[in-house]
Structure 1
Amino acid sequence: MKRFRVLALAMAVTLLLGTTSAFACTAVYVGKNVSADGSTILARSEDQGTGAYNKMFLVVDRVENVPGRTIDDVQGFSYPLPATTYKYTMVPDTPGEGDGPYMGACTNEYGLSLTGTVSASPSAEVEKVDPFVEGGLREAVLTGIVAATCKTPKEGVEKLASIIEKYGSEEGNIIMLADQKEAWIFEVYSGHLWAAQKMPADKVAVFGNQFMIGTVDPADTENFMYQKDLFKTADENKWTKLVDGKVHLAATFGEPREDYSNMRTWMGHKLLAPATVGEYKTDTLYPLFYDPAKKVSALEVMDVLRNRYEGTKYDASLPGNEALRVIGVERQSQIHVIQVKDNYPKEISALQWLAFGNAEHSVFLPNFSGITDTYKAYKVDGEDYDPNGAYWKFKRICTLAEQNRSFYGQGVKDYWNFYEENLYNDMKSAEQKMIKLYAEDPAKAEKYVTDLHMQIAEKACKDADHLYDNLLFFVMDRFGRTAEKLGGPFVPEIALRDAATAKGYNIKWTGSKDPIVLTNGSSTYSFTIGSDTCNVTKAGKASEVKLTFAPVEKNGTTYIPLDLAMTL
């Protein structure tokens, strides 16, 4: 993510992070041949220097034949746009933050998806010879320029290269781009030096804030592109580092490996291909691409972006590890997982999963890339807390949950995991309907995916409000209690109808004083509002189960304990 331009803020972040860099963001790539559903996956967490950092989700409309427009950055950079620009989605900062738009993750009408950026630094020697250019291209606008003007990943690489060579870059960045045909990674090493690599369809990658392109063959122009003097400049300045007889770009141009970034790169490798990576070593040049142990789903990518080194000696919950820079850091603002699918129509080529707040205790909500508008809560502007805004609705839950991860947070994680898995399954039928509608009339498909986005977002925001109220009451009710009187950890309320539908149960209820009966084949659950017992029959065997709390009715909705829903 971004460098901080305001000195006072930079000093505050330095104090917060100690000696580590103020850079942020972790990226994940999954090639289509090794993903669970054949989609190319681009994913990234956007992390800030402060936890309260409002984000929005917007659609930028296509503009036909209006010359003279520009995309402008706050530090003076201005890029002239063509008369016609393309429709795209973006996840920008609120303008009041004052550091530029930061479009973040974009999908456009021609089937191009991209995410940017993961910030990275060159070695001091590289920056001295080819310093960054003040007033040059920054992360703040680069994704928007590409989404508005390019139709393919390779065209996006060429566009970025031409801008950097003309205007210079103000910072080191890594960008990933994909469509239904191919995917590319683009690295900006200094003011004018860059390289790009075609990403293999049979590999995965996870990396923190460090350059990652490894050994290259300069003659392989099918899979690599680079600034024309890249290798010459390295040789002349004696930077060139060889691995197995080939130039290793990350080692040649990047700063030395450090735990802040390299540990995240290692952890991603350990999660997706544990047998091929050993114990963590700071100086190791972990490979950018490798074979996963098994095919990887979008849900698993979401969990990678939540990871806090669980299951290792670096687990952030263990004493002494509090200062480690984990993947699922509390300073996340928006996290996205973009699935580019070959069987979708090009204009609706991607399914983007977007989470606001911290991935650890938030939820990824799906959006097809053909949407023409976004839900009102995603448009709420401003730097101050506003409970009407989607970012604040989800972030405030994270803030409470992370006060005590085991006592408060686990219930929140369970709730959103249940929610996410159901949405993931729902999208399998939704995508088939979208494809069928598109074949009949593209306008029908656009309306369908836009309406679906509105419905999912509206419901999720309402459910988030209920979960927040539920958790806040639980926290307040236990505040000041002695340990022996705390009782069990937080178990959220979940709407009965949502739970039953997700698990395939039919609901029978004739009145408020009668039992509510859930039936799915030979399995039945019978319980009554206000009573904390439930009669269960499975495979002909009946039993009485004690519930965490009695089902309740609130504002016309019946709620049951989440742990009951998870057993259905």
Structure 2
Amino acid sequence: MKQHKHAACTSIMVGKKAAQDGSNFIARNEDNFVANWPKRFFVQPAVKNRHETYVSPYNKLTVELPEKAYRYTSSPDANQDEGWYEEDGINEKNVGMSATESVFANELVLAYDPLIPEGVAEDSMTTLVLPYIDSARQGVEYLGKLIEKYGSAEGNGVQFFDQDEIWYVELATGHHWVAIRIPDDSYAVAANQIGIEEIDFNDPDNFMWSKGIQEFVADNNLNPDFEGFNFRHIFGTDTKQDRHYNTPRVWYGQKMLNPSIEQDPESSDLPFLRKPEKKISVEDIQAVLASHYNETEFDPMGEGKNSKKYRAISLSRTANSHILQLPKSSKTNVGGIEWKALGIPSFSPYVPFFTNASDIDETYSYVPEKLDMKSAYWMYETLAMIVESHYTEFVEPNLDYQKKLAQWARRKVFDVEVAAASKSGEELTRFLTEQNHLIAEHFNEATKEHIADLITKGTELSKLTFKMDPNL
């Protein structure tokens, strides 16, 4: 089976009691192995009476699709030759999913339950699950049944949430997985390695698992611990690559949300779950996803000897950074909000879109192969390239631009929630769809103006300049 280009991400989950506004959040940077990997963003319509078979372009997985599917937001690859890779979205039942966080099992467990090349992989997962589920818990169960029937082609971490619960699933081997309910007062950061720790098989309210996993581990003598069932110890890895590519991202995410706690960035024992020192806002989550070891010796934008030591959270090859938010239904009736940052998250704003809508905006669905400023993807890629080309001179104007738009976005969401309070049904959906277009228009205009300002300033920064000495 060919190696796909989607295999490097960072995920964050924040429980509603850990969040400043009482929302549940799931979020992820979708990273690839190439910098230029265009993504679309639009709404997949609901379907009825469908008779269709899904065939994966990536590995030919073949699945008969249900006749009925819910409407959902989708972020597929613009070029789908390698697969659909719909990645993330919220469906009309206010159930969200982000898939996947690539994770890797050790050779011992894989020897007894190898991956299934033609099984369920990242390219298919959102497509085969999100349109058919009514709750986060059902999402875990639905995915588990697919893995039981078809097997798993890869190691993957998958996030599900609704207004009540957040679940994180780690698919480790061909047929074995576990899932944990993220406590309401906690958050979790995951970075390309198995992170879930102790599993309590007497607590099905907070843990789920594949059929026969305890017998599989016992029969093959796979547990290295004298007692307990630590999924990370049994199924995970602990390598030099983990310590330079993976664990430092978890360390920095936890450093931002628990700054008083001192930890080793290369530690193999960073906890999966943490309670934050203060309540977490959507802006805090944005800051983590946009981070690159800021204000440390490991910042790749710096000049220190350790600036290239660790892989950062925000990268040039981050194709799609998303924060999915489900506010309390008692506070608002708008449903889900999907915050989307294209280009490099360090330089791009997070644009809020309402998911109870029939459309996002044509600038997000239009993604040609080459640069076109009518495309949101290419506009933000252009912005990132300009800012980084003169980082010292442009970083502050870019941060000012991001802060101004963040303030506008928060006020806009509030105003829409107030205006939507008296609406319901199709009227509410039409209203939120209109707001999506207005939001996109505002961000597009502000971004093009920012790009124009930077280019104008940049003309004075060329090295091909010369000033005559007046004394000559």
Flag whether TM exceeds 0.5 (same fold).
yes
1:190 corresponds to which letter in structure 2?
T
Q: How does 1:75-94 map to 2 (within 5 A)?
A: 75-94=59-78
Inter-CA distance 87–350: structure 2 relative to 1 (3 Å threshold): same
1:296 is aligned to 2:294: no
Would the aligned equivalents of 2:334 and 2:417 in 1 still touch at CA under 8 Å?
A: no
1:239 is aligned to 2:222: yes
Q: How does 1:459-470 map to 2 (within 5 A)?
A: 459-470=442-453
Structure having the larger proportion of residues in strand: 1
- Which structure exhibits the higher relative contact order, with contacts defined as CA atoms closer than 8 Å and separated by 6 or more residues? 2
Using the alignment, how far apart are the partners of 1:75 and 1:385 within structure 2? 30
1:198 is aligned to 2:181: yes
Q: Structure 1 residue aligned with 2:251, among 232, 242, 266? A: 266
Query: What's the offset of the Cα at 1:160?
Result: 0.8
Query: What's the offset of the Cα at 1:62?
Result: 0.6
Q: How does 1:312-331 map to 2 (within 5 A)?
A: 312-316=296-300, 317-320=302-305, 321-331=307-317
SS of the equivalent of 1:258 reads helix
The runs of 5 or more residues in structure 2 that have no matched partner are none
1:383 corresponds to which letter in structure 2?
E
Query: What's the offset of the Cα at 1:70?
Result: 2.9
1:193 corresponds to which letter in structure 2?
H
Q: How does 1:22-37 map to 2 (within 5 A)?
A: 23-37=7-21
Query: What's the offset of the Cα at 1:289?
Result: 0.9
Using the alignment, how far apart are the partners of 1:399 and 1:148 within structure 2? 36
Query: What's the offset of the Cα at 1:345?
Result: 9.3
Query: What's the offset of the Cα at 1:50?
Result: 1.4
1:223 corresponds to which letter in structure 2?
N
Indicate the residue corresponding to 1:253 in structure 2: 235
Q: How far does the alpha carbon of each residue in 1:179-222 deviate from its partner, in whole angstroms, 9 at most, with x for none? A: 11211111100111111111111101112111111111112111
1:131 corresponds to which letter in structure 2?
P
Would the aligned equivalents of 2:333 and 2:420 in 1 still touch at CA under 8 Å?
A: no
Indicate the residue corresponding to 1:490 in structure 2: none
Query: What's the offset of the Cα at 1:482?
Result: 6.5
Inter-CA distance 407–484: structure 2 relative to 1 (3 Å threshold): farther
2:459 corresponds to which letter in structure 1?
M
Query: Which range moved further: 110-119 or 60-69?
Result: 60-69
Q: How does 1:465-504 map to 2 (within 5 A)?
A: 465-480=448-463
How many positions carry a matched residue from both structures?
463
Would the aligned equivalents of 2:83 and 2:124 in 1 still touch at CA under 8 Å?
A: yes
Using the alignment, how far apart are the partners of 1:322 and 1:436 within structure 2? 53
Q: How far does the alpha carbon of each residue in 1:286-344 deviate from its partner, in whole angstroms, 9 at most, with x for none? A: 11111100000001100011111123332322422135200111211111111111226
Matched-pair identity in %: 26
Would the aligned equivalents of 2:222 and 2:234 in 1 still touch at CA under 8 Å?
A: yes
Indicate the residue corresponding to 2:210 in structure 1: 227
SS of the equivalent of 1:269 reads helix
Indicate the residue corresponding to 1:494 in structure 2: none
Indicate the residue corresponding to 2:318 in structure 1: 332
Using the alignment, how far apart are the partners of 1:366 and 1:386 within structure 2? 22
The runs of 5 or more residues in structure 1 that have no matched partner are 11-21, 486-568
Using the alignment, how far apart are the partners of 1:344 and 1:480 within structure 2? 58
Using the alignment, how far apart are the partners of 2:330 and 2:88 within structure 1? 19
Would the aligned equivalents of 2:167 and 2:182 in 1 still touch at CA under 8 Å?
A: yes
Max Rg structure? 1
Q: How does 1:6-155 map to 2 (within 5 A)?
A: 23-70=7-54, 72-96=56-80, 98-155=81-138
Would the aligned equivalents of 1:108 and 1:147 in 2 still touch at CA under 8 Å?
A: yes
Query: What's the offset of the Cα at 1:389?
Result: 1.1
Using the alignment, how far apart are the partners of 2:259 and 2:219 within structure 1? 39
Indicate the residue corresponding to 1:445 in structure 2: 428
Query: What's the offset of the Cα at 1:474?
Result: 2.1
Q: How far does the alpha carbon of each residue in 1:95-146 deviate from its partner, in whole angstroms, 9 at most, with x for none? A: 25x2211111110011101111110100122222211111110111111221
Inter-CA distance 282–239: structure 2 relative to 1 (3 Å threshold): farther
1:250 corresponds to which letter in structure 2?
R
Query: What's the offset of the Cα at 1:28?
Result: 0.8
Q: How far does the alpha carbon of each residue in 1:249-306 deviate from its partner, in whole angstroms, 9 at most, with x for none? A: 0121011142201000111111111223x23242422111111000000011000111
